[in-house]
Structure formats: structure tokens, C-alpha cells
């Protein structure tokens, strides 16, 4: 079950709640892309 907001992404996985703001998400995406290349 995933609940996605525009300002932040809140992923609810069991009892754990992971919150990622937009800037951190973009940074993480850039890192993943650079790992793929």
C-alpha cells in the first residue's frame, strides 16, 4: 500500500513509514540513474 503526495512521497510498508521529500527523491533518482550508466 502506497500513499503518494505531490510535495512528498509517503510509503507505508507494514509498520514502517518512509517519507521522502521531493529534493531527496530527485537526488536518489539521479544516483540510481548514474549507477545504471
Domain residue extents for the chain: 2-36
Backbone angles phi, psi at 2, to 5 degrees: -125, 135
Which residues on adjacent β-strands are paired with residue 17?
12
Tell me if 10 sits within 8 A of 4, measured CB to CB: yes
pLDDT tens figures, 6-36: 455 556 666 666 666 666 777 777 887 788 7
In the numeric block, which cell numbers belong to residue 27? Answer: 537526488
Amino acid at each position: 500500500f502506497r500513499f503518494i503526495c505531490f510535495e512528498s512521497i509517503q510509503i507505508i510498508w507494514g509498520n514502517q513509514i518512509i517519507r521522502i521529500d521531493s529534493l531527496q527523491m530527485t537526488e536518489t533518482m539521479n544516483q540510481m540513474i548514474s549507477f545504471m550508466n
